[in-house]
Structure 1
Amino acid sequence: MSEREDIVELDELDRHIIYRLQQDARRTSASTIAEENGVAASTVRNRINRLEDEGIIDGYYLDVDYERTGFQLHTLIVCSAAIPDRERLARDALEIEGVVAVREVMTGSENVHVEVVGRDGDDLSRIGQELDALGLEVVDEDIIRNEYVHPYEGFSPKNQ
C-alpha cells in the first residue's frame, strides 16, 4: 500500500489485465491474458476477482446503439448543482426514466453531466422537467452523435 490507505498498488500483471479488459472485456478470456503474460489462467482469474473485490474493477458495461433500438435522441444534459448537493442530486438523477449515466464534474458551475436517451422531444422535455424538480439547473443540452472510447494507455504493456 502507498501513503494513502485506499490506493492499491498495481503490478505489471494487474495493469495488463485492466488494459485488456478495457479493450474488450467480453471477448478477452483469462486464458488469453495468461498466455500473454506467461502465467496460469487461474492466476488471472484470481487477480480479476481481487481487482473486483477491491473496487478497482467496478463493473462491465454494454455499449448500446440506442438509435438502432428506437431511441433516436441520445443526449448530454449539462446541469449545475450546489456543491453540497451535487453528489446526492447526481445519484437521484439516475432514478429518472431515460437517464443512462451521470457524471459529477469537480470544477466549474456546469458540474453534473446527465446522459439520457429518448424516443422524441417529449421524452427529453419530461427528463429535463424531472431534473429541474430534483433541484438540478439545466444549462445546456447536446445531442450525442457518436462516442469513442479507448483503454487508458498507462495500463498498456507498452508503457511498463
Structure 2
Amino acid sequence: MDQIDKKILQCLYEDGRASVETVAARVDLSPTPVRRRIRQMEDGGIIRGYRADVDLTACGLPLTLLVFVKLQSRDRATIAQFESRVRSLREVLTCTLITGSADYLLTLRVADMTAYNDYLRGVLAELPGVFGIETSVVISEVKAASHLPF
C-alpha cells in the first residue's frame, strides 16, 4: 500500500459515497487508476464494506456501556462457546479480547438503565462461562474516529 492508496482510503473513510471522480480529484489522479486501486483494495479485503454513520441516540439508544466480562475458565471450549454466543447478540456492537483483570470488553448501546438491567440479567449473565461482569457507563465521547491513523 502506497501513499496514494492511503489518500484514497482517507477520502472514502470521510465519505464512503464519494464518486470515483471526486476521489480522483482529491488524490490528483485520473479516475481509471483510482477505480482500479479501489477495486484492488476491495478484492484484497482492505476495504471491507461501505456503511452509513448512524446516530444511535437519534434511534432511541442514547446510552453507551462498556461491559468487562471475566470468564470462569480460559479453556478453548469455554472461549469458543462464549464468542459464538456473543457474535449472535445484536445489542453487542463490539467484543474485544483484552488483557488485564477482565477477559473481554463488550460495547453496548441501550435505551436506558432499565433496559440494560434487563439485558444484564436476562442475557449477559447467562452467557456460557461468565464468572463476573463489571459495567462502566460512557458519560461522553470525547473523540470518535474521523480519520485513519496514517
Note whether the superposition's TM-score is higher than 0.5: yes
The CA deviation at 1:57 is: 1.6
Q: Which amino acid aligns with 2:136?
A: D
Corresponding pairs, count: 143
The CA deviation at 1:51 is: 0.9
Further displaced range: 16-25 or 129-138 = 129-138
Cα RMSD of the aligned pairs, angstroms, is 2.6
Q: Which amino acid aligns with 2:144?
A: Y
**1:91-134: CA deviations, max 9, x gaps?**
531312422222233x3242322121222334212332422322
Structure 1 unmatched runs, 5+: 1-9, 155-160
1:94 matched residue in structure 2: 87
Change (3 A) 1:83 1:42: farther
Counterpart among 68, 85, 92 of residue 78 in structure 1 = 68
Whether 1:150 and 2:150 are equivalent positions in the alignment is no
Question: CA separation in 1, counterparts of 2:83 and 2:100?
Answer: 15
Q: Which amino acid aligns with 1:40?
A: S
CA contact (8 A) 2:16 2:51 kept: no
Identity over the aligned pairs, expressed in percent?
24
Normalized per residue, the structure richer in helix is 1
CA contact (8 A) 1:86 1:112 kept: no
Change (3 A) 1:104 1:46: farther
Change (3 A) 1:149 1:93: same
CA contact (8 A) 1:73 1:119 kept: yes
TM-score (norm 1): 0.71
Change (3 A) 1:143 1:95: same
Change (3 A) 1:24 1:120: same
1:102-117 residue pairs with structure 2 within 5 A?
102-105=95-98, 107-117=99-109
Structure 2 unmatched runs, 5+: none
TM-score (norm 2): 0.75
Counterpart among 126, 137, 140 of residue 134 in structure 2 = 140
